[in-house]
């Protein structure tokens, strides 16, 4: 069973829960807007032929959109995990080693479930 984190105050954790829930709501709203925008864009194009320049722009926009969606999915996953850790009493402890995540990191990135070094290693693995 994971060790409980007693280094963070109840008030801080309650504040972080509110921030995490707000972030989740914001990201989900942005995702819904992106889907609606894509549908509207497809409807605007209809069956009309596009020249290669327009097709290139559309492709680039879709790639950027997909990249942002991928980031949002990972961030949502981390937000859900952080909320779960609050329920477990392990918020602020790394998922990998159980060591405390600095409060300053949690203030900057409330969904942090890894230390900075561990996060950098995860990002390196994901780039491969």
Q: What is the pLDDT of residues 62-88, one digit of tens each?
A: 777 777 777 788 899 999 999 999 999
Indicate whether 107 pLDDT > 90: yes
| Contact criterion met (CB below 8 Å) for 101 and 111 | no
Query: Is CATH 3.60.70.12 the classification given to domain 10-127?
Result: no
Torsion 34-36-38-44 (CA) sign: negative
Q: What is the reported pTM?
A: 0.72
| Contact criterion met (CB below 8 Å) for 93 and 100 | yes
pLDDT computed for residue 60 by the predictor: 73
| Contact criterion met (CB below 8 Å) for 27 and 75 | yes
The arithmetic mean of pLDDT across residues 52-58, rounded, is 69
What is the Cα–Cα distance from 121 to 72, expressed in whole angstroms?
19
Residue 111: CB partners within 8 Å, gap ≥ 6?
A: 20, 23, 75, 78, 79, 81, 82
- Count the residues in the chain: 128
Compute the mean pLDDT over every residue in the chain, rounded to the nearest whole number.
84
Residue 107: CB partners within 8 Å, gap ≥ 6?
A: none
Tens of pLDDT, residue by residue over 13-41, are 999 999 999 999 999 888 777 777 677 76
């Amino acid at each position: 069973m994971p060790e409980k984190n007693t280094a963070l105050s109840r008030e801080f954790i309650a504040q972080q829960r509110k921030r995490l829930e707000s972030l989740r709501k914001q990201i989900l709203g942005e995702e819904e807007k992106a889907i609606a925008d894509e549908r509207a864009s497809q409807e605007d194009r209809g069956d009309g032929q596009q020249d290669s320049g327009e097709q290139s722009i559309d492709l680039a926009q879709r790639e950027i959109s997909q990249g942002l969606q991928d980031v949002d999915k990972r961030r949502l996953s981390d937000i859900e995990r952080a909320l779960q850790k609050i329920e477990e009493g392990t918020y602020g402890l790394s998922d990998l080693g159980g060591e405390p995540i600095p409060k300053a990191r949690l203030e900057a990135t409330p969904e942090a479930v890894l230390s900075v070094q561990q996060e950098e290693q995860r990002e390196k693995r994901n780039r491969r």
